[in-house]
Structure 1
Amino acid sequence: MDLPANDYPAGLLGIQEPPCLSLYQPTHRHHPDNQQDPIRFRNLVKTLEESLWRAYPEEQVQPLIESFLALAGDRGFWNHTLDGLAVLAAPGLFRVYRLQRPVPELAVVADSFHTKPLLRILQSADRYQVLGLNRREVKLFEGNRDALDEIELAPEVPRTITEALGEELTEPHLTISTYGSGPTGPAMHHGQGAKKDEVDLDAERFFRAVDRAVLEHHSRPSGLPLLLAALPEHHHLFRQVSHNPFLLAEGIDIHPDAVSADALRERAWRTVEPYYLARLTELVETFGAAKAKGLGADDPAQVAGAAVAGRVATLLIDADCEVPGRIDPATGRVEFGNLAHPEVDDLLDDLAEWVLKTGGQVVVVPAERMPTETGVAAIYRY
């Protein structure tokens, strides 16, 4: 399963050889609701196929559709879906993403990918990760206020202490002290080090390897806060060796295997929510100060010009707002109107893509916490 945080925005916003196929649908986690999901998927694939036949020769159509049909027949996949599905395909590329939030049904063939539903999910401010850790193995979860699911670790992240250190444990170093010798009786021997120190040293080496790999392959690419879920003694050791700036000071003092999935999500969100609220408050205050100095704006047309020019450092967009329109990539001017397919041409999402392309930060904010009523709030670099 592909990780959207690793592909987006760098890969999916780049230039891709057409045709680009984008398929989105809501899915269900449990039986019997999930029985209809593969049927709906096949119907959407048929829509893609009909669009391709109208514009492309058979030798281009068949290889693209075959990957979709193989996924449609994968029972194991459809028995483990989440709340939404995104599939993006092009010549030489096929990406499948299970999503923790529902998305509207959509099947589009175009010269570029339709990435806006992914953007809405990936840039939401309430996302976080949970690192489940003990002396033997590691697990990683990703979630939001409503859902928390285990995700596949990047290949470079060791899953177990054996993967990290190999079959050989640290050689024991035993120091022997002798006392009690003499006329009072036989000499007594006391050993220090040995197995306990060996185990502690191996755990420390394992935790260091995990920390480095998680930082490089998960925390930095996603930018998400990281919550540690482990026994208290493992918290102490891991925090001693960790250099991950995304690791939160607060954690969960129990291993994920010891609680239900719902209980883990509840505990995680209780811990993450204060950081989430503090981050939103800071962003809103920063926007207010920037706007007062002429370094911020909430007019979508004005923000569009700044985004195309690369001036937007941070963009807040309303999670529930859509503004039909399109941006002229040459001038940055906005054309508003009642478009035939507003989901494909939502000005706020186009703004977000421009900001990401130019190295800015995008945060999708709940409507009740937006500092403006226009759906957008931009903080400029200059």
Structure 2
Amino acid sequence: MSLISQEEFQKIAEHKGDVCVSIFIPTQRAGKEVLEQKDKKHLKSSWDEAKRKLEKKGISEEKIKSIGKPIVDLLEDPEFWRHQSDGLAIFAADGFFSKFTLPVNFEAYTYISGEFYVRPLVPVLKDEGRFYLLAIQQDNVKFYEATKHSIGSVYIEDLTPEQLEDRVGYDYEEKHSKHKTQHNLSGQSTTHGYDAANRDEKNEILRFFRAVDKGLHQVLNDENVPLVVACQDYLFPIYKEANSYNNLFDQVVPGNPSDTDMFGLHDKALKVMEPHLEKEKRDKLNNFKELNPEKTSTEIHDIIPAAYEGKIDTLFLENRAEVWGKYDEKNRKVETSTEQSDNTYSLMNLTAAKVIENGGSVFLIESAFMPEKESKLNAIYRYS
């Protein structure tokens, strides 16, 4: 899975041309839809739609063919369609092509203008949702780096033991079973022997977990993001005792990690961590309501010039909404329109790209949760 970096985002956001085509489609990781090549058919349909729009704009057949060649090549690449995530983003212009297979559920959308449409990429750029996920059992250890929208494996095999037997140095299961079957002379199981076996089991698991923790220290030494543990419930108190990392998340992702794959673990971890991951957004929304009105704005005619000047700390955009128009940077003049035309473009897309370029934060918010619902853009200023 390819994530998009800040540099890649800026390269796309800053590209200008006569014709820039942005295509977003939802995709499937596996299942019947993959076998039936529905994602491939969806892209073909979207490109066919884009071609019709380009023809209507009077774009030459030669230029359309040049813009579309990398897309046609993708359609003919069976290997590409076997490795999808939740969404596909494509940016194509004459002499420019970029694609991203991303863990974001895009709504299908095709945008043609003199710039690319980058607003749907905003969730991928937020780093505040980053965390580590440790899936640990007595016979298996897996480590992942994740965000709200992505997860990837981190290689730790040279840092930590892979299973308990690697740490304790003998056949743990055989030794433990002998403890459990010890009997006294009367043929009854002894409580003392059973308790001793339990103590031995816990101590050996603790030694194993301490070895894992020691190995992870080389990865986590300079980090301050949450470490989330996925394991069976009875193991989590033992891991907490072994842990030395100062940002261990205090709730376990329950169940046997082997019962699902990496993406299933990610989904389960997000459910446990949701309150934490939403904290920054929640705090910013509360800030908007509490700040002096001079530090906030809901007026697009003020917000866009402020975005160009680097004045915006946080921008809230109403999800699934759009504002068309154009901006004259020299005269700081905003003109809005009811629809897109050859002379207008997405002002929400323009503003989001500028805020990110100048180091601000952008959040896509459902209409019911916008701070000021009468406006599709709300902003918090860095200074008045």
State if a TM-score over 0.5 links the two structures: yes
In structure 1, what is the equivalent of residue 70 of structure 2?
67
The amino acid across from 1:138 in the alignment is F
**Contact 1:164-1:209 within 8 A present in 2 as well:** no
Could you tell me which of 110, 119, 133 is aligned with 1:131?
Answer: 133
Report the TM-score, using the length of structure 1 for normalisation: 0.67
Please state if 1:161 is matched with 2:157.
yes
Q: Give the whole-Å Cα distance in 1 for the aligned partners of 2:126 and 2:207.
A: 44
CA displacement, residues 326-353 of structure 1 (integer Å, 9 cap, x when unaligned)? 33233432111122359x8332332222
**Contact 1:318-1:370 within 8 A present in 2 as well:** yes
Q: Give the whole-Å Cα distance in 2 for the aligned partners of 1:318 and 1:248.
A: 31
**Contact 1:130-1:229 within 8 A present in 2 as well:** no
In structure 2, what is the equivalent of residue 206 of structure 1?
215
Report the TM-score, using the length of structure 2 for normalisation: 0.67
Q: Residues 252, 77 of structure 1: CA spacing in aligned structure 2 closer, same or farther, 3 A cutoff? A: same
Q: Give the whole-Å Cα distance in 2 for the aligned partners of 1:133 and 1:318.
A: 37
In structure 1, what is the equivalent of residue 269 of structure 2?
268
Could you tell me which of 37, 41, 47 is aligned with 1:39?
Answer: 41
**Contact 1:2-1:95 within 8 A present in 2 as well:** no
**Contact 2:46-2:110 within 8 A present in 1 as well:** yes
Mapping of 1:220-231 within 5 angstroms? 227-230=228-231
Q: Give the whole-Å Cα distance in 2 for the aligned partners of 1:317 and 1:289.
A: 19
Mapping of 1:1-382 within 5 angstroms? 1-4=1-4, 9-15=9-15, 20-29=20-29, 30-32=31-33, 35-46=37-48, 51=54, 54=59, 65-89=68-92, 91=95, 94-106=98-110, 108=112, 111-119=114-122, 121-122=123-124, 131-134=133-136, 136-143=141-148, 151-153=151-153, 158-162=154-158, 203-211=212-220, 227-230=228-231, 232=236, 235-236=239-240, 240-241=244-245, 248-254=249-255, 256-259=257-260, 264=265, 267-276=268-277, 278-292=279-293, 294-340=294-340, 345-373=345-373, 374-382=375-383
Deviation (angstroms), 1:207: 0.8
CA displacement, residues 288-332 of structure 1 (integer Å, 9 cap, x when unaligned)? 23243x111112222222212211111122224322223323343
Partner secondary structure for residue 356 of structure 1: helix
CA displacement, residues 136-155 of structure 1 (integer Å, 9 cap, x when unaligned)? 432345546xxxxx6345xx
The alignment's C-alpha RMSD in Å is 4.5
Q: Residues 7, 257 of structure 1: CA spacing in aligned structure 2 closer, same or farther, 3 A cutoff? A: farther
CA displacement, residues 140-186 of structure 1 (integer Å, 9 cap, x when unaligned)? 45546xxxxx6345xxxx42323789xxx99x9xxxxxxxxxxxxxx
- Number of aligned residue pairs: give it: 331
The amino acid across from 1:67 in the alignment is P
Deviates more, 1:314-323 or 1:357-366: 314-323
**Contact 1:100-1:143 within 8 A present in 2 as well:** no
Q: Residues 27, 133 of structure 1: CA spacing in aligned structure 2 closer, same or farther, 3 A cutoff? A: closer
Where structure 2 has 5 or more consecutive residues not aligned to the other structure, the ranges are 170-203
Q: Give the whole-Å Cα distance in 2 for the aligned partners of 1:141 and 1:199.
A: 24
Q: Residues 263, 79 of structure 1: CA spacing in aligned structure 2 closer, same or farther, 3 A cutoff? A: closer
Q: Residues 66, 238 of structure 1: CA spacing in aligned structure 2 closer, same or farther, 3 A cutoff? A: farther
The amino acid across from 2:219 in the alignment is V
Q: Residues 133, 54 of structure 1: CA spacing in aligned structure 2 closer, same or farther, 3 A cutoff? A: same
Q: Give the whole-Å Cα distance in 2 for the aligned partners of 1:241 and 1:163.
A: 16
Where structure 1 has 5 or more consecutive residues not aligned to the other structure, the ranges are 145-149, 173-194, 220-224
**Contact 1:291-1:379 within 8 A present in 2 as well:** no
Deviation (angstroms), 1:89: 4.2
